[in-house]
Amino acid sequence: MKSIQIGANAFSWDEAGQGDVLLLLSGWCQDHRLFKTLAPELAKTHRVIRLDWRGHGEHREHDGDFVTADQASDVIAFLDRLEIGRVVPVSTSHGGWANIETTDRLGPSRIPRSVVIDWIQTTPNEDFFRAIEELQERSAWEKGRDDLFAYWIGDTENRDIVDHVSKEMAGYSFEMWARSGREIAKAYRKWGNPMQRMAAMKEYRPITHIYSQPFEPEYTQAQLDFAAQNAWYRPNKLPGRTHFPTLEQPKAVADAIRAFLKDA
């Protein structure tokens, strides 16, 4: 991985391929390793950049607390430093909040489309908030984290997914997990859900949600209903069984992204 200094913080990043730029952004307590099989697929047709969030990846030290808006500012500063004009962000899980904040700030001329992957699109119930509150309690955070892990991976035997959860995500500190819980809860309390956040953008542009979980038909139907009222929103359900389609079925995700980018 390369390093770049933005303000007081160092960030790890890399790139591969040529063509239009795709910027891969993980969720909280994840990093570039989430895209180790997806990035080579996408690099067959695009210039693919993997950027780790502040305090993530190979640079875990950072200058104090930060929020979702800071993550968006970091992305914009990174794009400016590399003199990248047009880009399509591809985010996973709750990295979507910073993705859409970035997309909203930069406008369609610079971000003509955006991709979000496996990000809970509907308004969660109070059980969800209680679960992420556990992440913010020093005496309970590991149990809360492990409960999430168990749901996310299901019964998969995919070694990439098991290692991503048990070794890579588990390597992040209580402080980062607590920050993730706080920021995710704040976002849902403020916006209700990601679809409502996207609907509040200053200028609309095509956005696709590629996902496997949750499996309930009501979840898919809620997105179809939203899409019927908002033609720019395009849900895409994949047949995977885990929260990690980038590792479970990278070619299917890459094909879905390429089809979305070609679709006028």
226-240 confidence digits (pLDDT tens): 999 999 999 999 999
pTM: 0.97
Taking 3-state DSSP, the helix, strand and coil percentages for the chain, each rounded to the nearest 5, stand at 50, 15, 35
Separation between Cα atoms, residue 70 and residue 113, nearest integer Å? 21
pLDDT of residue 264: 61
**Tens-digit pLDDT profile for residues 45-95:** 999 999 999 999 999 999 999 999 999 999 999 999 999 999 999 999 999
- Express each pLDDT in 126-165 by its tens digit: 999 999 999 999 999 999 999 999 989 888 999 999 999 9
Mean pLDDT of all residues belonging to the chain: 97
Show the beta-strand stretches assigned E in the chain: 2-6, 9-16, 21-25, 47-51, 87-92, 114-117, 207-211, 233-237
Catalytic residue (choose from 46, 94, 164, 243): 243
Q: Confirm whether 164 is a catalytic residue.
A: no
